[in-house]
Every structure is written in C-alpha cells, then in structure tokens.
Chain A
C-alpha cells in the first residue's frame, strides 16, 4: 500500500517538472499530507514548447541544451520518487536502471540491474543489459554468461541468440558461437522468425566458418542470408569477395554491384538523417517512453491519478509520442470523457501525419463523436499524401462504404487498388462497393475474380451466392 504522502510527493514532482520546463503558473491546493498541486496552465502542450523555442535552440551554440539536461534530471527525480512510492516494484527499478543506462553512469546502471536480479534472478531484460555493459567494457566472456541465462528464459529470441554468438565469437569461443547459431537454426521454428534476423544468423555463422577456414560452408551461409533477405549488403559483399577469389569475376561483379547499390542507398539515408537528427528530440522521445511505461505501472497499481499525470507529462515532453496519447485516450474514454479521448487521438494523428494507424484511430474516434467530415478529410488527406499506400486507400474505401455511404467514391478507389494489387480481399471489397452502388453485374464479376484468386475460400462463395440471389 502506498502512503498518501508519497503519492502526493510524486504528483508534486511531476507537476513541478511541468512547471520547471514550461514556465506555467502553479497554484497549490491543500496542506500537509496528500497536498496536491494543480496546474493553472496558460497554454496547452506542457514543456514541449521549450524544445521547439528557437531561442532555446540557439543556446546550443555555446553549450548543451539546458532544456535537454533539465529533462534528464527531471526524469531521474521522477523515477526516484516512483521507486519511493512503489519500493517493491521490480518494474520501476527496471525503469530506473534503464534510465541510468541510457542517460547516466553505466556503473550506476549496472548496480541497479544487479539489484533487479536480486529479486528477479532470471529477468531477461536485466540479464541482457548487464551483458551489454560487459560488452561495452570488452568483457565478452562475462557477457556470454549473462546472455546464456537470458536465453534460458527466452529461448526463441533471435536477438539474444545473435548477441550471444557475437559475444562468444569476440571472446574467441568460435566453436561455442558456431554451436549457438547452429542450434538456433535447427531447434527454433524458423518459419516464425523474422527473415532478416534469420539471415543475420546465417551471416554470423558464415563469418565464423570463414575464421575457421571453412570457405565453402561460409559461402553456403552467405547465400542463405541473401536468399532470406535479398538486401543484405554485407552478405553480397562477402559473396563478391568469395567469388572473386575463386576467379568467378562476372558473378563477383554482380554481387559487388548489388552491394554498392544498397550501400549507396544506406549512405543517402544516413546522410539525410544526419541533417535532421536532433539529440534533444531523441532524448525527449526516450524519456516520454519511460514515463509511459512508468505510467503503466501506476495504472496497474490502481493509481490512475499518478499514471495519468505521467502520461500527460510524456505527451507534453514529446509532441509526437503516440503511446502516451493512446493511453490517455483510453483513460479518458473509460472515464466517459469521449470528447477528451478524441482530442488525444487527434493530437497523436496530427503530430504523426505519416502514420496511417494514427489517422485511422483518430478517424474512428471522430466517427464515434459524429465528426464525420473531419474523419473523411483526415483519411483522404493521408491517401493524397501517400498515393502508393494501398492500406490507406482500402481504409478510406471502407469508410465510404460503412460510415458515410459514398459507394461511388469507394468504387473509384477500389478499382485503382485492384488494378495494382489484384488480391481476393480487394476484389471482395470492390464487389461490396458495386453492390452498394447498385451495379450488381460488376459486383458479380468482382466476386468471381475474388473466388478465382482464392478458390478454396468458402466465405467468398457464400457472398457470391448472396449477390446472385439478390440479383
């Protein structure tokens, strides 16, 4: 049970943090234990405006961003208060350790992760972070020991498998690394594994084979990598070198050209990222994520007031943070404040115009609130901005069909979709649009096409029968 005093402290802290960064006026209400501070805000948006302020940006010229540094300190204080509030919560301790790991002294983070292990000895996250610490300090053998324990908890985790193999390799345990990788390939249901990760496993295996002088096995694994992930540039280069040494110049050149294409694309993306990367914004994203996770802990402990405050702070720190806004929308809707829920989802969507899911969620909320025009405008705007996005067109078509009954617009969209992506699902939807538009012949033709593309789908056949019947 958390004392009211500690919860009060935490709330004060969160509020004070908001105050410190956004220069809002604070009025204190109540006295003594459980006293709470209520914001009297002059503007919405919390502290985020600090980071966007051009004057603040120019502060970088003579040193670090005060706002950026203040944010980290604020996060430290907040997590520390959370730990005082929930001293037994392993989740909070993990967040504290994660914060230190990301922004503070690694040695402190290490102690915190060890502290987590004391209560939760096989916690894979703690084990993985401790392994990472060892790797950062060149202690690959110790890292491998932590990772083996983490893998015992999460045996199908290919990221851990790869990290373990790399640590073993870096510790000159080539045979062990090879065994780790071979075991993962033979024992894990590889069909369920991300192809890119599996490609990386084969690539690592190839590197080890190469170190052991087994060129043919290495080549076999490089080929597997390219087969699984055709854009694997390092594997293309390795194959190019392998083939060049065998005198197969043409084949080598082919892989080298592919490597150069992929590398060029990679460098272009990196260089464009260099232009736009912003430390403070990245820090803000990380801390917003941390607050959101912390909020989950408090919401789970039935302290929704603290949870909501943390979510609001996360949303304020990072205007583009989606998860905090989603959770705030959920909390608002649960409390019967549908309008507020819609506002949060709209905010998430407006700050993430490139994310379809956000637009759909906001549109759904707008539909529920009767804001049909806004919803239509939102989805149409996205389709216009991303004309290649089939999912967006399909979503808008569904909206036309099921919300505002504009079958002709749906037909136009879906004809375009099916011409480029002739799948049974798309033809089924087109058929529905024709039905709603009163064009039953075309509806029948479309459903016929859907059935031909997916002949064993009984549902399609049933739909076809219904259309025929109505005809």
Chain B
C-alpha cells in the first residue's frame, strides 16, 4: 500500500510527496504528483487550538472544532477563521478564543482577531459563513457549546456580534456543524444549526480497558437540529419542527447542503454519529422530509450506522452527479456514496477500493489537487485521545485513479486534525489545505503539486438570488471534458469552505471552455470562450423585475 515507510518521515520534513502511476483511459501512463508544504510555526503559531481538557474526559473536548475560509475584507484572497474550545468550568479565558488570520499574500497571515472583533470566547465547534444580510460582506456564524454567535460583517474589516438573533432553548446542547442556505428561495440565507448531544450531569468519566477515556456518544442524550428562518429584516426565527427539520433528535456532526435529486432546490445532509444520517429533502417550498433511508445515505452498504463525521460533496466519479464521501470512526470505512440518479445513492466503498482507516477520520476536502480533471480527497485524521495511542498516523490524501476509485497516498504524521478546508490561499491555481488540529497549532498546507492541467476558479455573485449564490450549479465543459459543481455552505467537519469553485481542467480538454450557471432562482447564464488559468467572477444577469428586494 505505502510506497515508503511513514515512520521514516519526520515532521520537520513535512512534505507530502507521493508518486503514483496514473492510468487514464486510453491514454499513455503519466506520473501524477500531489505535494503539500506546510507553512512554518512563525505563521501558524498565531493560533493554538484549546480543547478544554479537564481530566474528566468530557466528550465535547474531543469534538472541537471547525475552520472556515472567507474573504472577509474583500481584497480577493482567502482569509482563515479557526475555532477553539474554551475552559469548560469557570469564567472564559480571554486568551483561548477563535482566531481570524488575514491573508496578506505571499503566504503571510496576520492575526486580526482583536481588531476584527471575532475573538469568540465560547466553546466553539461549528462555523458557517454567509452573507445573511446580502450586503456583499460575508458574515460568520459560530455554533458554540453554550450561546451561539453571529458576527455581522461591518464592511470595514470589523464585525459586530448579533448573537441575540440566534438563541434557542438548545444553547446548552453540544453544538456541531452548521450551514447557510436559502431554503425557500426568498433571496436571503436561512441557517441550519446541528446539535450533537446533551451532556449528562454530573459527569461520570468513562473507563475502558482500565483507563479513563471519552465515552461513546450513545451514552449522552441526542439533541435535535434547528433551522433559523431569515425574516429578511435582519432577524431570525427558529422554525425547524414546523418545516420538518429536527423532528427527531440525533447526534449530528458535519452538515452540508446539496441538491440530491437535481430538482432545483437545496436539501440538507446531516452526518450523524453512530446512527443513521439524515437527508432532509426540500419540497421546493422550503418544507422538508427526512428521506435518508430510502435515498441510501443513512446507513452503509450493510444497513449499519457509521460514526459519520465530515462530508465532502462533489462529482467523485466523473458521471456529472454529486457524490458523497463521509469520514467515520477508526477502523470503519469512510463511506463513498455514489449518486445513481433519481435520488438514489449506493454505498460503493468496497467496490471503489475503499479502506478502513486506522485513525478516526474527521474533516474532508474534495478538490482536484493536481488539476488532472478528477476530484481527489484530503482527509484529516486524529484520535479522540491521542495520548493513549502512540502511533497516531498522519492525514490522508486519496488520489482519484480516474476509474471510480481512490489510491491512498503516504503522508507524515501531523496533528490530531478536526476541521479541514480547501482554498487557493496564494492564488496560484492549486487548492491548498487548512487543518484545525486539536490542542495544537493549525496546519496551513500549501499545495506545491505539479499542475497536470489547467484550472478555472469561479466566483458567483447573485443579484436576483441570494448574494452568495448558494445553491447555484455550475457546469464547465469543453471538447471531451465536462464537470459540474454546486456552490453550497457547510462542508467537511463543522467547517465551511471557499466560495470559489475550483475546476481542474485537464490538458486533454480541447477547444474553448464554456461555463453555464444554473442560479438558484431557476435562471441560467452561460459564458463562452472562457480563458483558463484564472479566477472568473460571474455576476448574475437579472431582469430588473427579478432583482432581489
């Protein structure tokens, strides 16, 4: 499996260098490389994650936290927002906050948390980015264990906390992933907030094999998820159960939205820990029905629940349908749910050569890392309690073999990763990776792969639909090449990714590129003769009568 011994790779030489033989159908053999180089601690030490460890092994300690990328200052590059835990007992420690790292270009990141006013002192787990008031500036929602927080972007590099908008009777629940979506097509972004469990008190430390450890989530009561409706006047109202969301409690982890049956609206997928995943199917009017079981996403191929953690949603097998890859617990298969069309998915993990990873897999990024036209995966790994496991392995890269399967590539040991997101941080046409590591410095991994083909980054601006254009479906095609993506919020594990859609374009793709955008309001827009290797901004062309109010 491995080309060389992982243990011979030191952390100092933290370079993922993997050479695999790539077989393209009917094409000559070629070498593909996927390499990442981490930025040094002089950059990453601007933030250190804190898990709130108390010695009591409270489950929430092991679950934090997510990471987001956003262009908060509108300067065209991606900034990073990292989440941290907090002291679980007593007053919050003002040194243990979330952090906003401003991207100043040339791999320079500056901690601007204080000036931006986003140093949340809550125990943070999930994060979502969305322009909820359609003012062109991305806002940040933080799902805390405790009171949640919504940071409204003031457009001048600072934020204002408008937390009161998003409180509920479930603030005491252990939080999880979250995401924005325009559920009812009214042009503003609503917010889906997942919850994990409600901690039992008094806390009782779990002992396994004679040692204290984190308990199974099944020992805690499951909690329901929430949906906050954006009233369009700057206020939200929780209406989950009225519209079919959160009618059953579950132990939610990562969440995402996508149009699972291609009917033009956004559905919500919730990765649940140790029980069936939920797929809330949108009926087009903003009401939902949970259909995960029949759709084939709820359980694995053998009808068993997995400890689902993170979610990646992209066309993984090149059939122009959105597939799913979901991370899971140690020694479980990270599940590959292949979209068969008509709203049905099959767990094709075994057939695609999937492996049960030794470590728990958490955050997950689907992206074409080497621009060869096929979507690869980057998976964050880490154990609940790394101290009790001496041989913690590093994160994983799964290279897409163009034949409906993946090949695991070797990697050195890194931190105990939770949230992972992908974004082209240095605007070089390659997707980089940011990992939020439990009780450790983050990793900012610059993609130094040799680009096999070209690329196109697409930024969408909605005018008639929501400003973020969440829910838009984009098709890019050329001779012998076609790729689709959907712009959504919520990804990976408790994280939110880039709003730039990155298309790797293989050299074999001939002729001009044509881009078609299916906006969430049903309108379609095409751009022809698109030039490669650049970032293209597409602003929705709308009739005056369609303009968002």
- By a beta-carbon cutoff of 8 Å, the part of chain A in contact with chain B is 60-65, 68-69, 72-73, 102-104, 135-138, 140, 169-170, 172, 174, 203-204, 207, 210-211, 233-235, 237-238, 240-241, 244-245, 252, 256, 259, 263, 267, 270-271, 274, 277, 279-280, 283
A72 to B301, alpha carbons, bound, how many Å? 38
Q: Which of the residues A104, A135, A211, A271 comes within 8 Å of B351, measured between beta carbons?
A: A211
Contact residues in A for B350 (Cβ distance below 8 Å): 169-170, 172, 174, 211
Knowing A169-B350, A277-B219, A283-B207 are in contact, say whether A259-B55 is a contact too (CB < 8 A): no
Instruction: Find out whether the CB atom of B202 lies under 8 angstroms from the CB atom of A61.
Output: yes
B219 CB → nearest A CB, Å: 5
Closest to A260 in B: B293
Q: Tell me if A104 and B207 are in contact (CB < 8 A).
A: no
A/B interface sample: 6 pairs, CB < 8 A = A61-B204, A72-B209, A104-B210, A210-B346, A235-B303, A280-B207
Cβ of B30 under 8 Å from chain A: no
Inter-chain CA distance A234–B305, complex, in Å, is: 10
**Taking the nearest CB of chain A, how far is it from the CB of B485, in angstroms?**
26
CB-CB under 8 A from A267, the residues of chain B are: 275
A397 to chain B, nearest CB (A): 43
Cβ–Cβ contact A137 & B358, under 8 A: yes
CA distance A68 to B346 in the complex (A): 44
Tell me whether A241 and B358 are in contact in the complex, defined as CB-CB below 8 angstroms, given that A68-B207, A102-B209, A279-B208 are known contacts: no
State the CA gap A17–B207 with chains docked (Å).
21
With both chains docked as a complex, state the minimum distance between the C-beta of B353 and any C-beta of chain A, in angstroms.
Answer: 6
- Give Cα distance in the complex from A240 to B291, angstroms: 12
Using A204-B302, A235-B303 as known contacts, say yes or no to A279 and B206 having CB atoms under 8 A apart: yes
Residues of chain B contacted by A204 (CB below 8 angstroms): 302
With contact pairs A138-B355, A174-B350, A211-B350 given, residues A237 and B207 touching in the complex (Cβ less than 8 Å): no
Q: Give per-residue flags for B441-470: 1 if the beta carbon is below 8 A from chain A beta carbons, else 0.
A: 000000000000000000000000000000
Check if A137 sits within 8 Å of B303, measured CB to CB: no
Tell me if B14 counts as interface (CB < 8 A to partner A): no
User: Nearest chain-A residue to B206 (Cβ)?
Assistant: A279
CB of B262 to closest CB in A, whole Å? 16
> Which residues in A have their C-beta under 8 angstroms from that of B212?
63-64
Q: Which 10 A-B pairs have the closest CB atoms?
A: A234-B303, A72-B210, A64-B212, A60-B204, A64-B207, A103-B209, A138-B356, A103-B210, A279-B207, A207-B302
B331, CB-defined interface residue at 8 Å = yes
Min C-beta distance of A99 to chain B, whole Å = 10
Tell yes or no: B543 within 8 A of A by CB: no
CA distance A170 to B208 in the complex (A): 26
The reply to whether B205 and A234 form a contact with Cβ atoms under 8 Å apart is no
Partner pick for A136 among B208, B331, B333, B351, CB 8 A cutoff:
B331
Determine if B356 and A244 form an interchain contact, defined as CB atoms under 8 angstroms apart.
no
In the bound complex, how far is the Cα of B299 from the Cα of A174, in angstroms? 20
Shortest Cβ gap from A123 to chain B (Å): 23
Q: Is B303 in contact with A233, judged by CB distance below 8 angstroms?
A: yes
Question: A135, A233, A263: which contacts B331 (Cβ < 8 A)?
Answer: A135
In the bound complex, residues from chain B placing their C-beta under 8 Å from that of A170 are 333, 350, 356
- Main secondary structure, interface of A, reads helix
Pick from A73, A140, A237, A274: contact of B293, CB under 8 Å: A237
Q: Does B508 contact A (CB under 8 A)?
A: no
A65 contact set on B, CB distance < 8 A: 207
- Chain B interface bracket (under 10, 10 to 19, 20 to 34, 35 or more): 35 or more
**CB-nearest residue of chain A relative to B222?**
A271
Whether B303 and A238, one on each chain, are in contact in the complex, defined by CB atoms closer than 8 angstroms, is yes
Are the CB atoms of A234 and B357 closer together than 8 Å?
Answer: no
A sample of 13 more A-B contacts (CB under 8 A), given A61-B202, A63-B205, is A62-B56, A68-B207, A137-B331, A138-B355, A138-B356, A170-B356, A203-B302, A203-B303, A211-B351, A234-B302, A237-B303, A241-B293, A277-B219
Q: Is B348 close to A, CB under 8 A?
A: yes
Please name the residue on chain B nearest to A173 by beta carbon. Answer: B350
Contact A69 B207 (CB under 8 A): yes
Q: Contacts of B342 on A, CB cut-off 8 Å?
A: 245
Do B348 and A211 have beta carbons less than 8 Å apart? yes
Q: Which residue of B lies closest to A68 (CB)?
A: B207
The CB with the most chain A CB atoms within 10 A, among B55, B275, B276, B294, is that of B294
CA distance A252 to B302 in the complex (A): 18
B301 near A64: Cβ-Cβ < 8 Å: no
A373 to B183 CA separation, bound complex (whole angstroms): 71
Chain B residues, CB < 8 A from A252: 294
Contact A256 B293 (CB under 8 A): yes
A180 shortest CB reach to chain B, Å? 15
Which A residues are in CB contact (< 8 Å) with B275?
Answer: 267
Q: How far is the CA of A172 from the CA of B333 in the complex (A)?
A: 12
| Cα–Cα, bound, A244→B212 (Å) | 46
A271 proximity list for chain B (CB < 8 A) = 221
Residue of B nearest to A208 (CB): B350
Assuming the contacts A136-B331, A270-B218, asked whether A237 and B299 have C-beta atoms less than 8 A apart, the reply is yes
Shortest C-beta distance, A273 to chain B (Å), equals: 9
Known: A138-B355, A234-B304, A274-B218. Contact between A241 and B210, CB under 8 A?
A: no
Interface-centre pick from B55, B342, B350, B355 (highest chain A CB count, 10 A): B350
The reply on B344 being an interface residue by CB < 8 A is yes
Chain A residues whose CB sits within 8 angstroms of the CB of B304 once the complex forms: 234
- Bound Cα distance from A126 to B312, whole angstroms: 40
Q: Find chain B residues with CB under 8 A from A104 CB.
A: 209-210
**In contact, A63 and B301 (Cβ under 8 angstroms):** no
A245 touches B344 (CB 8 A): yes
Of all chain B residues, which has the CB nearest A204?
B302
**B220 contacts which chain A residues (CB < 8 A)?**
274
* Chain B residues with CB under 8 A of A63: 55-56, 205, 212
Residue B28 CB within 8 A of the other chain: no
The residue in chain A whose Cβ has the minimal distance to the Cβ of B1 is: A138
Residues of A within 8 A of B210 (CB): 68-69, 72-73, 103-104
